[in-house]
Structure 1
Amino acid sequence: MTDTITGSTAPTATAARQDRLPGKALLGLFLAGFISILTECLPAGLLPEMSRTLDTSVSLTGQTVTIYALATALGAIPLARMTAAWPRKHVLQLALAMVVVTNVLTALSGNYTLTLALRFAAGLGTGLIWPLLGGYAARLAPAGRQGRAIAIALAGTPIGLALGIPLGTWLSSLGSWQLAFYASAAVSAVTMAWVLVALPNLPGQPVKARFTIPQVLVIPGLRPILFALATYMIAHNIIYTYITDLLSYAEMTDQTGWILFTFGITSVLSVLVVGTHIDRHLRTLVVSSTVLFAACVLVLAVFADTPALVYVAVAVWGFAFGSSPSLFIGAAINATKESADVAQSLTITVFSASIAAGGFIGGLLLVNLSTASITWAALILLTAAAATTVAGTKHAFPQKA
Structure 2
Amino acid sequence: MACTGFIVIMTETLPAGLLPQLSAGLDVSEGSAGQFVSAYAIGTVLAAIPAITLTRGMRRKPLLLAGLLGFLVANTVTALAPSFSVALVARFVGGAFSGLLWGMLAGYARRIAAPEHAGRALAIAMTGTPVALAVGTPLGAWLGSTVGWRWSFAAMSLLSIVVMVFAKYLVPDAPGQAARTRAPLGRVLGIPGVATILAVVFVWMLAHNLLYTYIASYLQQMRLALRPDLTLLVFGLAALGGIWFTGVFIDRALRRLTLASVALFVVAGAFLAVAQQSTVGALTAVVLWGIAFGGAATQLQTAMGEAAGDNADAANAMLTTSFNLAIFAAGAVGAVLVDGVGARVLPAGMIALAVVAIIMVGVGRRAAFPTGR
TM-score interval, smaller chain: over 0.9
Cα deviation for residue 204 of structure 1 reads 2.5
Tell me which residue corresponds to 1:388.
Answer: 360
Distance 1:245 1:393, change over 3 A: same
Moved more, 297-306 or 350-359: 297-306
Tell me which residue corresponds to 1:79.
Answer: 51
Tell me which residue corresponds to 2:322.
Answer: 350
Q: Output the aligned Cα RMSD.
A: 1.7
Whether contact under 8 Å (2:272, 2:347) holds in the other structure is yes
Pair 1:367-2:342 in alignment:
no
Distance 1:210 1:107, change over 3 A: closer
Whether contact under 8 Å (2:224, 2:278) holds in the other structure is no
Q: Distance in 1 between matches of 2:340 and 2:122?
A: 41
Q: Distance in 1 between matches of 2:185 and 2:134?
A: 31
Q: Distance in 2 between matches of 1:117 and 1:49?
A: 19
Q: Distance in 2 between matches of 1:400 and 1:332?
A: 16
Q: Distance in 2 between matches of 1:63 and 1:269?
A: 30
Cα deviation for residue 369 of structure 1 reads 1.9
Distance 1:164 1:369, change over 3 A: farther
Pair 1:274-2:246 in alignment:
yes
Cα deviation for residue 163 of structure 1 reads 4.2
Pair 1:379-2:351 in alignment:
yes
Give the counterpart letter for 1:107 in structure 2. Answer: A
Q: Give the TM-score, by structure 2 length.
A: 0.95
Q: Distance in 1 between matches of 2:158 and 2:262?
A: 35
Helix, strand or coil: the match of 1:211? coil
Tell me which residue corresponds to 1:214.
Answer: 186
Residue identity (%): 36
* Aligned match for 1:55, one of 17, 27, 37: 27
Deviations 1:152-172 (A, max 9, x none): 112323433454531221112
Pair 1:302-2:274 in alignment:
yes
Deviations 1:69-126 (A, max 9, x none): 1111111110112122322111111111111122112111130111111111111111
Q: How does 1:184-263 map to 2 (within 5 A)?
A: 184-205=156-177, 211-263=183-235
Helix, strand or coil: the match of 2:116? coil
Q: Distance in 2 between matches of 1:355 and 1:397?
A: 23
Pair 1:285-2:261 in alignment:
no
Tell me which residue corresponds to 1:331.
Answer: 303
Whether contact under 8 Å (2:193, 2:368) holds in the other structure is yes
Q: Distance in 2 between matches of 1:161 and 1:397?
A: 26
Give the counterpart letter for 1:359 in structure 2. Answer: G
* Aligned match for 2:96, one of 113, 117, 124: 124
Q: Distance in 1 between matches of 2:217 and 2:140?
A: 16
Whether contact under 8 Å (1:38, 1:163) holds in the other structure is no
Helix, strand or coil: the match of 2:71? helix
Q: Distance in 1 between matches of 2:72 and 2:7?
A: 10
Q: Size of the alignment, in residue pairs?
A: 373
Whether contact under 8 Å (1:53, 1:110) holds in the other structure is no
Distance 1:332 1:99, change over 3 A: same
Q: How does 1:33-44 map to 2 (within 5 A)?
A: 33-44=5-16
Whether contact under 8 Å (2:133, 2:235) holds in the other structure is no
Give the counterpart letter for 1:356 in structure 2. Answer: F
Q: Distance in 2 between matches of 1:132 and 1:347?
A: 11
Could you tell me which runs of 5 or more consecutive residues in structure 1 were left unpaired when the two chains were aligned.
1-28
Q: How does 1:85-234 map to 2 (within 5 A)?
A: 85-205=57-177, 211-234=183-206
Moved more, 207-216 or 318-327: 207-216
Whether contact under 8 Å (2:210, 2:330) holds in the other structure is yes
Give the counterpart letter for 2:171 in structure 1. Answer: L
Distance 1:179 1:210, change over 3 A: closer
Distance 1:171 1:207, change over 3 A: farther
Give the counterpart letter for 1:176 in structure 2. Answer: G
Cα deviation for residue 392 of structure 1 reads 2.4
Cα deviation for residue 209 of structure 1 reads 7.0
Whether contact under 8 Å (1:244, 1:253) holds in the other structure is no
Cα deviation for residue 212 of structure 1 reads 2.0
Distance 1:201 1:336, change over 3 A: closer
Whether contact under 8 Å (1:81, 1:207) holds in the other structure is no
Helix, strand or coil: the match of 1:383? helix
Cα deviation for residue 368 of structure 1 reads 2.5
Helix, strand or coil: the match of 1:144? helix
Deviations 1:202-243 (A, max 9, x none): 233356576222222222222221111111101111100000
Helix, strand or coil: the match of 2:283? helix
Q: Distance in 1 between matches of 2:129 and 2:46?
A: 19
Whether contact under 8 Å (2:52, 2:313) holds in the other structure is no
Q: Give the TM-score, by structure 1 length.
A: 0.89
